[in-house]
């Protein structure tokens, strides 16, 4: 696999609500969805926000799209789930999807059945032709193949959310969104989960100055994201789950401020791709 790379593509980077405005076109308005495409063309998807819709359209037009995908859901709030309702590949009988969500008060089957209630939406599971398996994420780790393992830790958020550590051979991608750290210190489970990651995608919805007014809302500041990156010896930090009210100019300033503290930082932009060397 020499000279090959794993690709990370951001289809949705906004938090809480979609924000399709003239002043968000640079960073984008879709909510959470990240594609990981391994060097062997295996497909892992993180969250099913409105960005999941554009990913679906792309997969339908791709000549060499994988027929199987593993979709990993951090939690079941609307901004991470809404794209499920309109994902075009779900209608293709030649495709299969393994969807894993956090352990919750409702099972994944009950949650999907709830959002597909005909009062809210006219499409039910029996209309979807793809093979769709719904699972609760296993307590220890998810082994997708000899090369791919995914681990998790629960972190602070209303009703809880999972941080995920995706290990592809010797490459590590960590996804910690919708994460509220304790007031006095960083969540040590999140830091441990991010240890030595090639890429850390971390919630940065707020600034330190904004956090006190949003206590209990379940999100981090960019300063906390930088703190996790430093404490975890992370190679690259991606700021994620941007506040829906923050415009492109403010996002650019936030990114620059973070780069002043941790130079290898980018604020996620819708459509942005990152490639990391494949090492097996």
- pLDDT, average across residues 181-187: 96
Residue 55 has pLDDT above 80, yes or no: yes
pLDDT of residue 99: 98
Residue 176: phi and psi, rounded to 5, are -130, 85
- Mean pLDDT across the chain, nearest whole number? 97
CA distances from 176 to 81, 152, 161 (A): 16, 10, 9
pLDDT of residue 116: 97
pTM, rounded to two decimals: 0.97
Provide DSSP, 172-222.
EEEEE-S----SSS--HHHHHHTTT-SEEEEE--B-TTTGGGGTTS---BH
Provide DSSP, 4-57.
-EEEEEEEE-B-SS----GGGTTT---BSEEEEE-TT--EEEE--STHHHHHHH
Q: CATH code at 242?
A: 3.60.15.10
Residue 1 has pLDDT above 70, yes or no: no
pLDDT of residue 3: 67
Of the chain, the percentage scoring pLDDT greater than 90 comes to 98
Number of domains the chain contains: 1
Residue 2 has pLDDT above 80, yes or no: no
Give CA–CA dist 150/136, Å, rounded.
Answer: 13
Tell me how many degrees the CA angle 51-276-28 measures, rounded to the nearest 5: 25
pLDDT digits (tens, 9 = 90+) for 21-36: 999 999 999 999 999 9
pLDDT digits (tens, 9 = 90+) for 119-160: 999 999 999 999 999 999 999 899 999 999 999 999 999 999
| CA of residue 197 relative to chain centroid, distance | 15
pLDDT digits (tens, 9 = 90+) for 236-274: 999 999 999 999 999 999 999 999 999 999 999 999 999
Give CA–CA dist 84/103, Å, rounded.
Answer: 18
pLDDT digits (tens, 9 = 90+) for 78-128: 999 999 999 999 999 999 999 999 999 999 999 999 999 999 999 999 999
pLDDT of residue 76: 97
Give CA–CA dist 260/262, Å, rounded.
Answer: 6
Which domain does 234 fall in, by range?
A: 5-277
Q: Which residue has the tokens 């398996």?
A: 133
């Amino acid at each position: 696999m020499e000279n090959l790379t794993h690709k990370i593509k951001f289809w949705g980077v906004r938090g809480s609500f979609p924000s399709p405005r003239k002043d968000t076109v640079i960073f984008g308005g879709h909510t959470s969805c990240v594609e990981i495409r391994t060097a062997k063309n295996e497909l892992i998807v993180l969250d099913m926000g409105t960005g999941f819709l554009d990913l679906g359209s792309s997969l339908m037009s791709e000549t060499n799209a994988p027929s199987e995908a593993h979709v990993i859901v951090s939690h079941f709030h609307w901004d991470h789930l809404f794209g499920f309702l309109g994902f075009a590949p779900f209608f293709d009988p030649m495709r299969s999807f393994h969807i894993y969500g956090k352990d919750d008060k409702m099972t994944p089957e009950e949650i999907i059945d709830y959002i597909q209630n005909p009062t809210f939406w006219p499409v039910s599971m029996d209309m979807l032709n793809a093979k769709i398996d719904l699972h609760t994420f296993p307590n220890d780790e998810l082994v997708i193949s000899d090369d791919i393992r995914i681990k998790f830790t629960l972190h602070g958020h209303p009703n809880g959310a999972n941080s995920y550590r995706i290990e592809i051979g010797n490459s590590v991608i960590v996804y910690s969104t919708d994460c509220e750290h304790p007031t006095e210190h960083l969540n040590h489970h999140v830091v441990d989960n991010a240890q030595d990651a090639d890429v850390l995608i971390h919630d940065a919805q707020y600034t330190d100055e904004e956090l006190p007014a949003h206590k209990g809302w379940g999100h981090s500041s960019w300063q906390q994201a930088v703190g996790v990156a430093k404490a975890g010896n992370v190679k690259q930090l991606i700021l994620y789950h941007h506040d829906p009210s923050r415009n492109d100019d403010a996002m650019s300033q936030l990114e620059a401020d973070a780069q002043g503290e941790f130079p290898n930082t980018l604020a996620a932009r819708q459509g942005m791709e990152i490639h990391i060397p494949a090492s097996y």
